[in-house]
């Protein structure tokens, strides 16, 4: 097949996406497909031969290294003459040349359903979740409301505009310890775990810098687990144990800072319960194709808490979905090709 892999974009997760997209592209090349790697925001110049963008064979693989810190999006905009249109030049044109588009994006535009809607409107086949499932899963407030409304555990929370939330409001409604996060970011961008009220203002300021609604939820003590779901079926559970702090941006994408226990050290009963919950949450949030459900296992309550859903989870060499798939014998290249072959019709 001829495949465009979309990565990058104007998102705090731009660098993570570029790494995912590079590895996805290499896997597809090694499987014998023709691959063009395209940055959603950068696009392609008028002088670029679009047909020539499609690579063949493994003699010219893609490479990208994730920096330790998030990208400066305002600097990137300035370097592009102030352009804020998030679909770059000729992106749709080259996507129409392909048999399908593999969405290797993360964060805004890629995960909130906007890219999927654009591809749908142009009749372009693409991988991953449908636009509605993306929009629901990406909005942490809506996803928590749906899960709580269905009778499942999720931490108490409040949501406010980034310019209308104060320390006093948080202390009155949620208190500390708590977790502060932008409502529509992934990769733990802008997330803070607040143990003391003295830390709260800095956490609110960090989340506010993303210019989104801010969600504050009670801190839950438990074992952090994540469950990949592929075609509606839960894969082996992974327990996440950062060496220090919580599972933040650096701990996620810098190798050696977090231990992934796969399969998670849970007995058969708890493993089955968690996998069934993941599949139910996947359905409630209208997700399909593949994704990931994050939860806490509360040993004191002997129950599971929903944290959030990921409709375009990372596909890097430290990512969780490829690791879970490998645990049941699906190698990385085979997983990527399986997802590509299941691309949905945009018609």
Helix (H, G, I), strand (E, B) or coil at 112: coil
Distance, CA of 155 to CA of 153 (rounded, Å):
7
In 178-331, at which residue ranges do the beta strands (DSSP E only) sit? 178-182, 192-194, 214-218, 223-230, 233-242, 258-261, 290-298, 303-310
Helix (H, G, I), strand (E, B) or coil at 198: helix
Say which DSSP state 53 is in.
G
The architecture of the domain spanning 137-152+221-311 is 2-Layer Sandwich (3.30)
Whether omega before 295 lies within 30 degrees of 0, making that bond cis, reads no
Distances (CA, A) of 276 to 76, 85, 279, 304: 43, 41, 5, 11
pTM, to two decimals: 0.88
Domain boundaries, the chain: 2-128+334-339, 137-152+221-311, 157-218
pLDDT of residue 167: 95
Domain 137-152+221-311 matches domain 157-218 at the CATH topology level: no
64: which residues sit within 8 A by CB, 6+ positions away? 15, 18, 19, 21, 22
pLDDT of residue 108: 77
Distance, CA of 163 to CA of 206 (rounded, Å):
12
Task: Give the pLDDT of the chain (347 residues) as one tens digit per residue.
Answer: 999 999 999 988 899 899 999 999 999 999 999 999 999 999 999 999 999 999 999 888 999 988 888 889 999 999 999 999 999 999 999 999 999 999 999 887 888 999 999 999 999 999 999 999 999 999 999 999 999 999 999 999 999 999 999 999 999 999 999 999 998 776 567 899 999 999 999 999 999 988 889 999 999 999 999 999 999 999 999 999 876 555 444 444 445 667 889 999 999 999 999 999 999 999 999 999 999 999 999 999 999 999 999 999 988 767 899 999 999 999 999 999 999 999 976 54
* CA–centroid distance for 114 within its chain: 14
CATH of span 2-128+334-339: 3.40.50.20
- Computed over its alpha carbons, how large is the radius of gyration of the chain? 20
**By 3-state DSSP, what share of the chain in percent is helix, strand and coil, each rounded to 5?**
35, 20, 45
pLDDT of residue 247: 46
CATH of span 157-218: 3.30.1490.20
> Cβ distance 316 to 78 under 8 Å?
no
Q: Which of 247, 271, 317 is nearest to 66 (CA)?
A: 317
> Cβ distance 284 to 133 under 8 Å?
no
């Amino acid at each position: 097949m001829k495949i465009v892999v979309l990565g990058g974009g104007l998102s705090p997760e731009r660098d993570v996406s570029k790494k995912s997209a590079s590895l996805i592209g290499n896997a597809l090349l090694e499987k014998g497909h023709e691959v063009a790697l395209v940055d959603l925001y950068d696009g392609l110049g008028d002088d670029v031969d679009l047909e020539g963008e499609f690579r063949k064979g493994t003699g010219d693989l893609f490479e990208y290294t994730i920096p330790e810190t998030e990208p400066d999006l305002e600097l990137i905009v300035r370097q592009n003459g102030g352009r804020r249109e998030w679909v770059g030049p000729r992106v749709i044109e080259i996507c129409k040349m392909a048999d399908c588009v593999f969405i290797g994006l993360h964060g805004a535009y890629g995960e909130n359903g906007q890219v999927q809607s654009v591809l749908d409107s142009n009749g372009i086949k693409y991988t991953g979740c449908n636009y509605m499932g993306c929009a629901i899963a990406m909005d942490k407030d809506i996803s928590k409301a749906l899960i709580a409304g269905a009778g499942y555990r999720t931490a108490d929370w409040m949501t406010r505009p980034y310019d209308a939330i104060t320390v006093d409001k948080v202390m009155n409604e949620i208190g500390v310890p708590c977790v502060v996060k932008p409502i529509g970011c992934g990769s733990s961008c802008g997330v803070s775990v607040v143990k003391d009220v003295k830390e709260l203002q800095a956490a609110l300021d960090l989340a506010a810098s993303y210019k989104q609604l801010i969600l504050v939820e009670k801190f839950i003590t438990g074992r952090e687990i994540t469950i990949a779901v592929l075609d509606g079926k839960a894969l082996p559970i992974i327990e996440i144990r950062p060496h220090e702090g919580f599972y933040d941006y650096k701990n996620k994408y810098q190798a050696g800072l977090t231990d992934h226990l796969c399969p998670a050290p849970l007995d058969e009963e708890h493993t089955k319960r968690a996998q069934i919950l993941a599949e139910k949450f996947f359905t409630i949030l209208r997700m399909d194709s593949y994704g990931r459900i994050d939860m806490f296992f509360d040993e004191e309550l002997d129950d599971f808490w929903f944290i959030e859903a990921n409709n375009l989870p990372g596909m890097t060499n430290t990512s969780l979905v490829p690791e879970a798939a490998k645990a049941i014998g699906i190698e990385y290249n085979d997983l990527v090709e399986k997802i590509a072959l299941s691309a949905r019709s945009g018609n």
